[in-house]
Amino acid sequence: MSRSALGPDGAPDGEMRWAMQLEDLIKCENIIDLEGTSRDEVLLEMVRTAGKNAEVLDETALYTAILDREEEYTTGIGLGIAVPHARIDAVQGKVVVVGRSSAPIDFKALDDQGVSLFVLIAVSSHMHKDYIRILARWAQILKKDSVREAILAAGGAGDIYGILEKHFAP
């Protein structure tokens, strides 16, 4: 790869660097306390929050894609975490929504435990590499007990953003 094809951070132009910054992935207003009591209600709340972002061109298509993904295979990865995700033309760029529930939700998680912490990830259909990197980065951070516990105990969106900011720092 020629040097001119590299961006200022040393990554190929157009690709997200592995050392992602939190502000590249989420806005504080995309961190919500969930009111839903079922999988579908929680997913709808999260998609509606994502739909407030200019990157989401079709909220209904995103919701359908997220539900289809859940029907194919649960995104409840265990440890009280679910990472519903979709790569879809109805999104330009990337949108991440973090939600937490005060009561665990039955999400058919791999460990059969309820889910209280959700990260919805939606990216453009052409962003395959970034999609994988974003999923991997969130999983890496959320597998830490201390991070999950701090997010669940945090006072609100600003506090959660601060917790995440510490763990996304390079």
Catalytic residue list: 85
Backbone angles phi, psi at 35, to 5 degrees: -105, -20
Distance from C-alpha of 165 to C-alpha of 170, rounded to nearest angstrom: 10
- CA angle (66 as vertex; 64, 70 as ends), nearest 5: 115
Whether 88 and 65 have beta carbons less than 8 Å apart is answered as yes
Residue owning tokens 């959660």:
160
- Tokens 């597998």, residue? 143
Which has the closest alpha carbon to 80: 109, 38, 121? 109
CB atoms within 10 A of CB 3: 6
Q: Can you tell me the distance from the alpha carbon of 109 to that of 115, in angstroms, rounded to the nearest whole number?
A: 7
φ/ψ (deg, to 5) at 19: -80, 70
Which DSSP letter does residue 86 get? Answer: E
